[in-house]
Structure 1
Amino acid sequence: MKEDHLICYSCVNENCFIKKHLHLEQMKQYVAKKHSFVCKKSQQFITEGAPLQGLYFICSGKVKTVKTGINGREQIVRLTKNGDTIGFRGFGTSKRYLIGAYALEDTVLCNFSNETMMEILQHIPEFTYALMLFYADELNKSENNIRKIAHMNVRERVIDLLLYIHRKFGQVNGLIDIELSRKEIADFAGTTEEQAIRVLSSLKKGALIKTEGKRVGILGLSELRSEIMEHKYF
C-alpha cells in the first residue's frame, strides 16, 4: 500500500464518522495522528486474525469484507464505499481482526490507530454515542441477514443481493456501479458459483436484469422486489 496524505477538513464524505465531528475543537489533535493509504484493486489490507491496527475509513473506492467459513471458504459479509468504516468488528473487545478486507477497486483509506480511537472514545462523547448507534444498526443488519439465509431460497438470496447493491451503489448508464465476479456474488449470497450463474441467467432470460462483464443492470426493479416482498428485504 502506498502512503498518501489527505486532509479530513477538505474531505467530501459527509457520512464518515470523522468528518461528522470535525466541528468539534478537540478533534483537531486526533485528526493530525491519522495515516492515509492507497490500496490497489484486489489488494488485501486487513487479514482475518491479524493484530488489531485500529479502524479504517474509506475516503474513496469500494471494499469487500470477508470471513472464513466452513472448509476455509471465504464469505463476503459486507460491501462498503466512500465514508464507510472498516475493521470495527472486534474493536474494543478483541486484539485481532474478526474479518479480512480487500479493495474492489483502487481505494484510498484513512487509518486511526487503536490508541487514537480509544482516546477519541474516552474524550469525545458525541463521537462515542454516534459509534454506539452505528454498532446497534450493524447488529440489526446482521440479525436480518441470518434470517434471510434461513428463510430464502437461492434465487431469492441472489435477488436480495442485487437489490442491496443497487440501493448501496446506485446505477450508472443502466449498470450497478460496482464490479462483482460471479464467485463474489455467490459468496455474498451464500451459494455456489454454479447456482449463482444459473439464477443470473434465468433473471437475464426473463428480462429482469442485464449483464456486461462483471457488472449487472436492473431492468425489472418492481418485479424483483415483488419476488422477495414476503421477506421484507427493506
Structure 2
Amino acid sequence: MKEEQTVCYSCTNENCFIKKHLHLEQMTSYISKKQNIICKKSDQFITEGAPLQGLYFICKGKAKTVKTGINGREQIVRLTKNGDIIGFRGFGTSKKYLIGAYALEDTVLCNFSNETMREILQHVPEFTYALMLFYAEELNKSENNIRKIAHMNVRERVIDLLLYIHRKFGQTNGLIDIELSRKEIADFAGTTEEQAIRILSSLKKEALIKTEGKRVGILEVSTLRSEIMEHKYF
C-alpha cells in the first residue's frame, strides 16, 4: 500500500459522503487533513482488532469486509464499491476495528482520522445528520438479512448473494462487474466452497446463470427473484 494525494473537489465520485458535502464552507478545512491510500488487489488495509484509525471512503475500486467466525474462519459481511464507507461499525463506540478489509481490485481509499471525523461530526450538522441516516439504514439492512438467512436454505442464500451483487455492481457484457472466487461466494453465503460450487453448477445447468472464470452472469433475473421472493417480506 502507498499514499497518494487526490483532490476531493475534482473527484468524479458523486456517491461519496464527503463529495456530497463539499458545498459546505465548513468542510474546506477538513479536506486537507485526509490521507489517500492506494491498495493493490488482495491488500489488507484494515485488520480486525487493530486500533481504530478513522473511516475509509472508497474513491475508486472494490473491497470486502470480513468478520472472524467459528474456528477462526473469516466470513464476508459486506462488499463495497466507489463511495462506500468502511470501518464505520466500530467508530465512536470502540477503540478497535470490528472487521477486517481487503481490496478486491486495485483500489484508492480516502482516510479521515478519528480526530478529523470527530471535528466534522461536531461542526458540520448536515454531514452528521446524513451519517445518522446511513447508520439507521445499515442497521435495518442487517436486521433484515438476519431474518432472511434464518429462513433460507443454502441454494436460496447463494441466489440471494448473486442478486445482491447484480444490483450493487451491475452487469457488463453479460457478466456481473466484480470478481469473486468460489470460496468468497461461499463465505458470503455462509456455506462451504464445495456446496457453493455445486449450486453454481446446478444454476448453470438450469440456464439461470453463466460463468467465466471468477465472474458470474445472471441470465434469468426474474426467475431467480421468484425463487426467493417469499423471504423478502418477513
TM range (shorter): over 0.9
Deviation at 1:17? Answer: 0.7
Aligned residues: 234
SS at match of 1:232: helix
Deviation at 1:93? Answer: 0.5
Is this contact kept in 2: 1:33–1:112, CA < 8 A?
Answer: yes
Is this contact kept in 2: 1:104–1:179, CA < 8 A?
Answer: yes
TM-score, normalized by length of structure 1? 0.99
Is this contact kept in 2: 1:60–1:108, CA < 8 A?
Answer: yes
Aligned to 1:53: 53
CA distance in 1, matches of 2:208, 2:44: 34
Aligned to 1:161: 161
Is this contact kept in 1: 2:148–2:232, CA < 8 A?
Answer: no
Post-superposition Cα deviations, 1:98-155, rounded to whole Å, max 9, x if no partner, equal: 0000000000000000000000000000000000000000001111111122000000
Contiguous gaps of at least 5 residues in structure 1: none
Contiguous gaps of at least 5 residues in structure 2: none
Post-superposition Cα deviations, 1:57-95, rounded to whole Å, max 9, x if no partner, equal: 000000000000011000000000000000001100000
Q: Is 1:4 matched with 2:4?
A: yes
Aligned to 1:185: 185
Aligned to 1:19: 19
Aligned to 1:209: 209
Percent of residue pairs bearing the same amino acid type? 88
SS at match of 2:65: strand
Q: CA RMSD in A?
A: 1.0
Aligned to 2:37: 37
Deviation at 1:192? Answer: 0.5
Is this contact kept in 2: 1:57–1:111, CA < 8 A?
Answer: yes
The residue type paired with residue 125 of structure 1 is: P
Structure 1 runs (4+) deviating above 2 angstroms are none
TM-score, normalized by length of structure 2? 0.99
Matches within 5 A, 1:82-161: 82-161=82-161
Is this contact kept in 2: 1:41–1:107, CA < 8 A?
Answer: yes
The residue type paired with residue 29 of structure 2 is: Q
